[in-house]
């Protein structure tokens, strides 16, 4: 197996885009990625489009995107792994390159959520678990799912609503410094606490928004990467796991077990000790669809021990300069969460971090040359943990 590297990145503005269709959003990101890599459509040998769909009109998004971007007759596919569809697209593109089936592949994640009403989106996402048992019988919505995790966590560890709010404040702060983010305004703990409840204890500011957007990466083989750039960002490891559709089959609501398993797989590939994982990474992107999800992610990734994630947030240790900087782009909470674009957006952000291309206000201190992305589909129905590196051969044991 060869090595795969990101050599080009692109990103649309996240937010509401009533004047753009799905393929136009995708092209904004693709065009930037091609230019960044110094390649053209003729150089792309495989196209992977991450798109969860359901709320937008295009039934065959890969075909529509490929045509509009001038990528036909390049072979293509559409992949879906709920909110982790972007990481699934990256995995498919990287696998094509690593296997030798393609020298250069393109992964794009794109979503046009606002073609549907809020109530339609709430229903469609609520259907994403076990439809007949959870949605049809009990009417669970996506905020309701994570509210169960939040109440369990608060009961077990005595965390407070203010601790959840600290995550939102951090992520809105960094989103205010990110021109691509959905929300550009800083908030306070008081703002979060005054916002209306969506599903207790989760309030409006604890929840990620419905967002339109796209992100894209050009992935190249080792030989091609060296020809195209002096700073390839290597997809050094990736772990993947799948959880139960039915939440009643889970052991507890204090962790997303597939995320733990995916992290262990990725860590094993580079010799990272999970209990000390924060020491290996310069920066992290984690799946904060709700504030409680970010806190649980700290623990699932081994940044802190169980029951200490809320303290990490409360004490500001996930800001730039802290124990482990997390979501310096605003995260899903404030950058936005256009479902399938999220995983690719994480890859774009961490590529920029490792290249040190961000403004100083949200650029992590890059010393180790290693970053990690944690991308969840549903409530742990899918989990992808990806390690990006400046050194393709990095290994610690």
What sign results for the dihedral spanned by CA atoms 302, 306, 310, 315?
A: negative
The confidence score (pLDDT) of residue 69 equals 98
- The closest of 289, 296, 304 to 343, measured between CA atoms, is 289
CATH number for the domain whose boundaries are 4-116+210-228: 3.40.47.10
What is the radius of gyration, based on Cα positions, of the chain? 19
The confidence score (pLDDT) of residue 240 equals 98
Domain boundaries along the sequence of the chain: 4-116+210-228
The confidence score (pLDDT) of residue 133 equals 60
Please check whether residue 135 is in contact with residue 129, taking contact to mean a CB–CB distance below 8 angstroms. Answer: yes
Q: Which of 83, 182, 207, 381 is catalytic?
A: 83
Q: How far apart are the first and last CA of the chain?
A: 20
Q: Which residues of 231-260 are buried (b: 16+ CB within 10 A; e: fewer)?
A: ebbbbbbbbbbebbeebeeeeebbbbbbbb
Q: What is the token pair recorded at 131?
A: 């439809």
Q: What angle do CA 130, 134, 137 make, to 5 degrees?
A: 130
How many Å apart are CA 168 and CA 290, to the nearest integer? Answer: 9
The confidence score (pLDDT) of residue 138 equals 58
Contacts of 15 (CB under 8 A, 6+ apart): 182, 211, 212, 213, 336
Tens digit of each residue's pLDDT, the chain (397 residues): 689 999 999 999 999 999 999 999 999 999 999 999 999 999 999 999 999 988 777 889 999 999 999 999 999 999 999 999 999 999 999 999 999 999 999 999 999 999 877 777 777 776 666 666 665 555 677 888 899 999 999 999 999 999 999 999 999 999 999 999 999 999 999 999 999 999 999 999 999 999 999 999 999 999 999 999 999 999 999 999 999 888 888 889 999 999 999 999 999 999 999 999 999 999 999 999 999 999 999 999 999 999 999 999 999 999 999 999 999 999 999 999 999 999 999 999 999 999 999 999 999 999 999 999 999 998 899 999 999 999 999 999 8
* 163 burial level (CB within 10 Å; 0-12, 13-18, 19+): buried
Assess whether 83 carries a catalytic annotation: yes
Assess whether 337 carries a catalytic annotation: yes
Strands (E), 286-390: 370-377, 382-389
Please check whether residue 87 is in contact with residue 343, taking contact to mean a CB–CB distance below 8 angstroms. Answer: yes
The confidence score (pLDDT) of residue 142 equals 83
The confidence score (pLDDT) of residue 78 equals 97
The confidence score (pLDDT) of residue 136 equals 54
- The closest of 370, 374, 373, 383 to 270, measured between CA atoms, is 370
Strands (E), the chain: 4-11, 46-50, 76-79, 104-112, 197-199, 202-203, 212-221, 233-242, 283-285, 370-377, 382-389
Beta bridge pairs of residue 132: none
The confidence score (pLDDT) of residue 59 equals 85
Q: Which of 3, 23, 182, 337 is catalytic?
A: 337
Please check whether residue 208 is in contact with residue 336, taking contact to mean a CB–CB distance below 8 angstroms. Answer: yes
């Amino acid at each position: 197996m060869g090595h795969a590297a990101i050599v080009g990145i692109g990103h649309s503005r996240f937010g509401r885009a009533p004047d753009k269709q799905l393929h136009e959003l995708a092209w904004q990101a693709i065009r930037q990625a091609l230019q960044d890599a110094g390649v053209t459509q003729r150089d792309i040998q495989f196209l992977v489009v991450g798109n969860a769909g359901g709320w937008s009109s295009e039934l065959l998004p890969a075909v529509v995107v490929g045509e509009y971007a001038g990528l036909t007759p390049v072979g293509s596919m559409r992949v879906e792994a709920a909110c982790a569809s972007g990481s699934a697209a990256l995995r498919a593109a990287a696998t094509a390159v690593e296997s030798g089936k393609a020298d250069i592949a393109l992964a794009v994640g794109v979503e046009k959520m606002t073609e549907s009403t809020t109530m339609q989106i709430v229903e469609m996402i609520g259907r994403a678990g076990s439809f007949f048992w959870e949605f049809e019988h009990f009417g669970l919505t996506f905020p309701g799912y994570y509210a169960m995790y939040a109440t369990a966590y608060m009961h077990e560890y005595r965390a407070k609503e203010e601790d959840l709010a600290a995550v939102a404040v951090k992520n809105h702060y960094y989103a205010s410094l990110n021109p691509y983010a959905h929300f550009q305004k800083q908030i306070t703990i008081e703002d979060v606490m005054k916002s209306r409840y969506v599903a207790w204890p989760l309030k409006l500011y604890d929840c990620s928004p419905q967002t339109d957007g796209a992100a894209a990466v050009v992935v190249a083989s080792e030989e091609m990467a060296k020809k195209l750039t002096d700073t390839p960002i290597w997809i050094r490891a990736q772990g993947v796991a799948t959880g139960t559709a039915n939440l009643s089959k889970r052991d507890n609501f204090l962790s997303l077990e597939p995320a733990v398993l995916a992290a262990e797989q990725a860590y094993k590939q580079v010799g990272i000790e999970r209990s000390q994982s924060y020491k290996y990474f310069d920066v992290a992107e984690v799946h904060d669809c709700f504030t409680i999800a970010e806190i649980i992610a700290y623990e699932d990734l081994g940044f802190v021990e169980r029951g200490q994630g809320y303290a990490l947030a409360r004490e500001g240790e996930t800001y730039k300069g802290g124990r482990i900087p997390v979501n310096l782009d605003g995260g899903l909470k404030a950058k936005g969460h256009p479902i399938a674009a999220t995983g690719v957006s994480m890859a774009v952000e961490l590529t920029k971090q490792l290249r040190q291309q961000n403004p100083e206000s949200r650029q992590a201190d890059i010393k180790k040359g290693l970053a990690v992305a944690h991308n969840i589909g549903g409530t742990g129905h899918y989990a992808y943990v990806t390690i990006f590196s400046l050194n393709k051969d990095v290994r610690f044991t």
